[in-house]
Structure 1
Amino acid sequence: MHLADWIRGHCSIENKTRWVRDVTYDEYRSQIRTGTGPQVMAAIRNAAIGVLRLAGVTNISAANRHHGREVNRPLALLGIT
């Protein structure tokens, strides 16, 4: 029973991340196609989604726009400044 719950929860999280990468980052239209570029970009997108979710963000797209407007915002979110 616990394993099935864990698998369902993991799949739910994985599907949410893939959906955000597809819709918000329009990943399927990315022109990065050679070498390890696609995997690296997927990892960067996953990291960004994870950081924003840990910060309590529910709308990733709006958060991307907010943090993209000023160079110090992403750094402050990461606790660098």
Structure 2
Amino acid sequence: MDLIISLLAGALGGNIAGALLKKFSMGTLWNSIVGILGGALGTRLLGMLGIDLGGILGVVAGGTVGGGVLMAIIGVIKGAMKK
């Protein structure tokens, strides 16, 4: 269940980041896909670092932040490659 929540939170985080950083947005579909990957990585990284924010809240936070960060990183790289 935690995995599903982190993936959904990652998709949400990717789309939030895309809305806030329109310059780096890749569209809803790609923001969601990259966010899902970032959500899984973010939650996993928090677990490996031993950071526990309290069950479901921690999974949602890790997924959302991870999804947003990875979407922004990919967006910056994609923008740099266009130049």
Q: TM-score, normalised by structure 2?
A: 0.36
- Going by fraction, where is helix more abundant, 1 or 2? 2
